[in-house]
Amino acid sequence: MPTKTVQIPTTDGLADGFAVLPEHGGRHPGVLMYGDAFGDRPTLRELARELAGHGYYVLVPNFFYRNGPAPVVDLPAHIGEEDRLPLIGRLMPLIEAHTAERVLRDADSYIEFLTAQPEVTAGPLAVTGYCIGGLLATRTAAAHPGRVAALAAFHAPVAADGPDSLRRLTAEVHFGHAATDITPEALDELNRSLDAARVGYTSEIYPGTVHGFTMSDTDAFDPAGLRYHWDRLLPLLARTLPNG
C-alpha cells in the first residue's frame, strides 16, 4: 500500500503522521486512526496498511506532536513486559498533559485535513483507536456527530469521561474490550449508557485477551483477538461509509 508522511496543521503547530491509501487510485472513504501510546512503528503501520487494503484512506496522526515527532520515546523492536512499565512511566506525563480540550482541538484539525485530501470520498468518516487512542476516537466521534458515521475502539478506556459523554454519540459503535480491562458488571453499565444514546452498537469482551491484544510487537498480542477485531471492524465500515 502507498504510504506517505504528512504534516497536519493544527492550532498548536504541525502534527506529523502518516497516511495509507489503496494502490488502485481513485477516491476512498476516510478513516482517522488513533494508535496506542507507543505511536508510529511498524506494527501500527501494518494495521493501517491492512485497513487501507480493504479500500480506505487511513490517516494516523502523532497525537503527541507537541513533544516532538513520533516516536516520542525510543522503542525496542519487541515491547516485552519488562519494557512496558518503564515506557509507560515516560509516556504518562504526555498522556496526562493531553487534555480533553487538546484532543478536541486536534480532532478538528485532523478531520479537516483528512476530508481535504483529493483521494478521500466526500461524506462521513470513521474513527478508530487502540488503547488510549480508543478514548481519543470516542471523544472525536462524540464531538462530530454529523461527520463521523462509525466508531471502533479496542482495549480502550472508552468510559473514562463518564456515561453522559457517550450519550452524544450518533455513530454506529463497536467497542472490543480486553478481558483484563473490564468486568462483566462494568460492561453492563457501559452498554446501558450506549442504550441511552440510542445508537447501534456492539460492545463486548474478547475472551482470553489482555490489554494491548491487537499489537503484534508486544507480549499482549493475541492472534485470535486481532482476527476477531477485523471481523468486527470491517463490516462496521462497510455498513456505514460511502462506497465502503
Question: Which domain covers residue 32, as residue numbers?
Answer: 3-240
CATH number at residue 168: 3.40.50.1820
For 80, the grid coordinates are 516485552
Find the radius of gyration of the CA atoms of the chain.
17
The answer to whether the beta carbons of residues 38 and 87 sit under 8 Å apart is yes
Q: In what order do the strands lie in the sheet with 30-34?
A: 3-10, 13-20, 57-61, 30-34, 125-130, 148-154, 172-178, 201-206
Output the tens digit of pLDDT for each of the chain's 244 residues: 778 999 999 999 999 999 999 998 899 999 999 999 999 999 999 999 999 999 999 999 999 999 999 999 999 999 999 999 999 999 999 999 999 999 999 999 999 999 999 999 999 999 999 999 999 999 999 999 989 999 999 999 999 999 889 999 999 999 999 999 999 999 999 999 999 999 999 999 999 999 999 999 999 999 999 999 999 999 999 999 987 6
Strand ranges in the chain using DSSP code E only, listed in sequence order: 3-10, 13-20, 30-34, 57-61, 125-130, 148-154, 172-178, 201-206
What is the number of domains present in the chain? 1
